Each structure stands twice: as structure tokens, then as C-alpha cells.
Amino acid sequence: MNTILNFMKRNYKIIVVVVCISVTLFAFKMNASKANDPEKDKLLLELLTFVIEKGHYSPAPIDDTFSKGIYKDYIEALDPSKRFFLQSDIDEFSKFELQLDDQLLNKDLSFFNLTYERLMKRMDESTKIYKDVLSKPFDFNTDESFNIDYEKSPYPKNVTELNDKWRKQIKLSALSSLIDKQKLEEDKKKNEANYVVKSFDILEKETRESSRKSLDEYFGFIKDLDRNDWFSVYINSITARFDPHTNYFAPEEKERFDVSISGKLEGIGARLQKKNDLTEISELISGGPAWRGKQLEAGDLIMKVAQGNSEAVDIVGMRLDDVVKKIKGPKGSEVRLTVKKVDGTIKIISIIRDIVEIEETYAKSSIVDRNGLKYGVIYLPKFYIDFENANGRDAGKDIALEVDRLKKAGVNGIVLDVRDDGGGSLSTVVDIAGLFIEQGPIVQIKSAGKKKEVLYDRDSKIEWDGPLVIMVNNFSASASEILAAAIQDYKRGIIIGSKQTYGKGTVQNVYDLNTFVRSSSVGDLGAIKTTTQKFYRINGGSTQLEGVQSDIVMPDRYAYLKMGERDVDNAMAWDKIDQADYQVWNNNTNFNQAITNSKSRISKNTQFQLIEENAKWIDSRSEENVYSLNIDKFKMAQAEIEEKAKKYKPILDYKNSLIFTSLPYEADAMSKDITLKEKRERWHEALSKDIYVEEALNVLDDLQSKSVSKQNLPVKIKKDKLASKS
């Protein structure tokens, strides 16, 4: 979960200290023209180590234990399925296992150089292996098996074992695809009596061709990665030893991170994907300049890119990241794309770049009528903010706006859905929680060696004082957990969802490494995100590891799988501080009864019982790693699994019969924007199949007072007082 709770103003002293002390660091002579500059890499290592040690909340000692952690993470990252390196390679690498701390301090790149060069060699050899494997038919009648538990499996002892591992791995994938193809042929025959079923040999050949194409694309992607990309992998194996949320952002990654936090970018508004050596338009972002121009469409292939009146550059065979760099650009500038249209014609399309808002990032709401009452559902995918523009969109202002719209629509209760919300800006959490309470503390912050700091909602207005439910799951993290914890501690609303949330109770800041370098000749160094603080609930407890435990626990298909912070290596510990001074919400007469009613409904609900049973089955299946490569045995095993899986099909087929609709302003926008209309219809359809949302609405029913009064208080859009640029 690469989330960040930005609180930079509170950490200006760290930056000052780093800048003052780091003047001695930059005695290197840089050569910006070199694509792979070892001196730049050494500078990067020194900068990262220095900034983390000075800025991290609790930096780990750089010792042999630290070295062993780097070694383990890095080797696993290079070859997670153990299909490149031989045991002899690992034996050679392992000599460095306890030396990486010293190499880091001495800016020694010998281990990285060794592993990088060996990986490139092994990958090149593997290209020949898979092509050879797929050059001849598989014999699916032999009795052999393949174990997909890569973590416990050994590295191949020699080239013969490596070839055999590739053969079995590809054969397993091909076998699964072959059986799927056979089923499709059988279905076609059932539906069309005259249909001639393809022979086994033809299907087997098609399967191998498909496998080869997939591997060609995979290795094409790998080929696009350069030494800097792999060096980033090495660096992140180092940063991860401080804690799971301290990472290095290469320049392109930093840009993507900024986009994910702000929800906007400057460009043409198109998603691209690699298609062999070509770049394909996979989607146009609704409202963006490419979408507005109506000339570019999904499926078009970009052949050349020109900046304004400049000469067009051929991008065939170019790395996707490099293509993106050429197409993106500042608002108001022109880019000309030479594209091969889906009908085969060649066309030059001029587009004026603009600010593109990624709609999926932003809050959205819907209304549902049931039992004579009207409820609002707000979905918040991320606690976003635009640090570059104080007047830009942020989650706090947008949620306030959605609450206002729902109040004007006359809703009797609100569900705020932060399931799968990985976090974002800390200041927006304070603003959002403040919409539902009179005033008071929202979260406590602690920096290393300093007294705690309490962040308050100081606005006495309550924007919504009606029934409130917060929906969470295992992947609600960071900022989501602060919000849920504050609402829970105040007893302002009911938290419903998974047994507990993700358990990330730390604050990260992003430092632009370029600000520490005097000369620009070094090139872009990227940025470091490091853990600088821990946050605590207003009751004093940390959400670290433990997360927020739901008031009402609903069965979850993935409840037994290890996916939380508590399951992450090197996570920071749980602790507790003094609680803040706060008063619980006193207008919750039906609060405890609503929880009791919901627990009773869930325990008796056959659908929830089936989900719980399915969760246990999924957990047991996760331990089964050996697959037969004999077609008859494989089919038999798959038939058994499919037979058991039929029992759980009603989970996916469930429909709650509720009808969700957009608010009037959005319905008007949808009439002009077919893409937005399709997205909202898909969301509404998903809500109508969501038993968890249905139970959240049941809880809102139970929270109603005997005389339901409609809320018509005006919403005051609060300024983001606490946000700062990262």
C-alpha cells in the first residue's frame, strides 16, 4: 500500500538539517550524457541513506541483519518464480549476504553489477529456452506434476533442471488453456449442430502459439526495462528494510505517484498500452482533450509523435514510458500524433494538451429508495488532494459537496464507503470527519523524540447529524483507518465490514531528492517516500498492525488470507499513547440496538453463511500447490474443484433488488457523456449485487429515530488548512 499522509509543514526542521549537513555530499563529477552513470548511482545511494536516517521515525541500524534483509528481498524481486537463476548463481551471490550493509555505506555497486549482469544473461538464455519448449507439441499423457510453491521450491541445480522447470511451467499454463479451448468447442457444437469441432492437434498447436505470444510480450516488456529500472529494484530492497512504506520513486514513478494523489495530469487524456513494438490507445479518459476532439479512439495505433510544428519522431519499438513522456506536456501546448486507425487508414491528429481529471479517483454518490425512506451512498476511492493548487479538488471539499447534494435530495441516512481505499492526504481526513461532529480532536500525531500533536476539527457546524455508516474492508488503509477510528471513537456512526482494516498507522513524507543537489547536470534523481511519524486514534490506541475492528463484522471471502500490515515483513510495532480529550456523540439512541440487530441478521443470513464457508474453502485451496500435467488427471482434479465451486456460485449471482440512481446534476452530465453514463451504470449495477451495501442500508434503517427529520443544514466547504506540498 503505497499511501502517504502528507504533513510536510510539521517536518521542515528535518529538511533544514538535511540541507545544511548534506553540502559535503556532492563532490562527484556528473556526466549527464551517460545513460548508466555509476557515479550518479553512488550519489543516489548516499542521498537515500542520509535522508532516511535523518528523517525516518525510527531508522533501523545498518548492520548484518539489515544486509540479510536486503539480500532476501532483492533476490526474490529479481527472480520470484526461480526460473532464471541457477543454484550456482545463488551460491555466488550468497557470499555478499552479510556485506550489503558495508557496500551501502561505502557506495559499492559490485553486488548490484554482478546480479544485474547475470540476470540479463539468464533472461537472454531463457528466451531461447521457452521458444525451444514451444517449438514442438506437448505430450499430455505422461504422468508428471508441477509445484507452483516457488517460495519453498529449490533453484535449478543445472541447465537441464532449468529447462525442465520452464517446460513444466509452460506446459501447465498450456494445459489449462487447452482444456478451456476444448470446452469452448464443445459448447459451440451444442449450440450449432453443423459445427465441426477442431481436432486435439489443432487446439494443442493454437495453445502453444498463444503461449508463445504471451511470453514474447512478457519478454518484450522485460526488454523495455533498462539498468536504471533494475537499480530502482535494488534501491527499494534497501528502503524496505526501514519499513514497508519507505520507498524510492524513480522520476517516472514520482510523476505517477503525484497523479494518483491529485487525480489529475497534464496531457491528452488517453491510456496507452504496448502491443508488440507498437503503442495502442486502450482508453480515452472522459472529459479529456482526446475525448473532446473525437478523432482518436480506442484501438488506434500511434506511429509517430511531433511537438507542435516540429518534425515527427518515429516511436515504433520505443519504451512505453518514453512514448508517454513525448505525448504528455503542459496545458496549451500542441502534440501531433500519426496514428493507424482501427480501419487501417493513416491519419495525423492534432491535440492541444490540457489538464485531465481522472474521474475514477474522485468521490461519487448515489441514491436508493427503500421502505419509504431515501438513503445516500458515497464512495471515496482515495483521500486525494492537489498540492499544486489550493483551489483544486480535494476529497474533503468533494465529500462536503456530496453531503450537501444528498441533503438537498432529502436522504434519511448516509453510507460512506471506503472499502479498498488505500489512503492519501491527512488533512482531508480531518475535514471529512469534521463534517459529522460538532468539533473536537480527529487524530493524534507523534514524531520521533517529540510530544504528541492533536489535529482538531475546530468548526462547530455539523454538516450531517443523521444516521451514518462507514463501510471498510481488509484493504481500507491509512487515511481510511483514521476516519473510521475517529467516527468509531466518537460513536458517531457504525463501522461495518471486514474483521479489521489493513493496519497502517504510519505517516509518510515525500522528499524530492533533486532539491539536495546543487547542479542540475546530475539529471533527475527522483524522490524518497519515508515514514516520519505515527498516528494514533483519539482514544490513544494505534491502528498500526491492529487496524480498526468493525462494530459489525461481515463474512468476507478473503478473510483468512494473509494480506494486512501484520503480515508484512519488517512492519513497525503497535503501541499506545494517552487519549485525547473528546466527548462521544450523544444522539445515538438506537446505536447499540442497530449493531445487535445487524449481527443477528448476518448470523441467520444464508448468503453470509455461504460467504463464510467459501472463505474457509479458499483458505484451504491456497495450500494446494501441486498440479498434475497429465490431461486426464488434470481434468479430473479441475472437475472436482468446479463441482465444489458450484456451491458458491450464488455468491456471484446475488442481487439485492435495490435500484440506485444518480443525483440530478450527474444525470444531466451523463446525458452528454456516454462514457460517464456507462461507468455509472456499471457502478449502480455493482451496488445492486452488493450484499454488504444492502446490510449497511439495513443498519441505517435501524438507526432511524421514531420521527424521521430531514436534514437541511447548509454545507460550509472548509478550507484545507493543513495540507502542504510534498
On the 0-12 / 13-18 / 19+ scale of CB atoms within 10 A, 395 is buried
Smallest CA-to-CA distance from 497 within 386, 437, 415 is with: 415
In 3-state terms the chain splits into helix, strand, coil percentages (rounded to 5) of: 45, 15, 40
| CA–CA separation, 208 and 305 (whole Å) | 36
Which phi and psi (to 5°) does residue 326 adopt?
-75, -30
Q: Is 42 a catalytic residue?
A: no
Strand runs (DSSP E) across 341-432, as ranges?
A: 346-352, 354-357, 364-370, 373-379, 413-417
Residues 6+ apart with CB under 8 A from 699: 469, 494, 496, 552, 594, 595, 597, 598
| CA–CA separation, 436 and 486 (whole Å) | 10
Residues 6+ apart with CB under 8 A from 461: 438, 713, 716
Handedness of CA 113, 119, 120, 122 (dihedral sign): positive
Q: Please report, to the nearest 10 degrees, the dihedral formed by the alpha carbons of residues 192, 195, 197, 202 taken in order.
A: -130
Catalytic residue among 67, 237, 447, 478: 478
Catalytic residue among 404, 489, 690, 701: 489
The x, y and z cell numbers of residue 355, run together, are 489538464
Smallest CA-to-CA distance from 535 within 464, 442, 469 is with: 442
Smallest CA-to-CA distance from 468 within 418, 536, 537 is with: 418
The x, y and z cell numbers of residue 407, run together, are 441533503
Catalytic residue among 168, 397, 446, 504: 504
Whose grid coordinates read 443470513? 605
Which phi and psi (to 5°) does residue 306 adopt?
-130, 140
Q: Is 504 a catalytic residue?
A: yes
| CA–CA separation, 145 and 139 (whole Å) | 13
State how beta strands 373-379 and 413-417 pair. Answer: parallel
Q: Is 121 a catalytic residue?
A: no
Catalytically annotated residues: 478, 489, 504
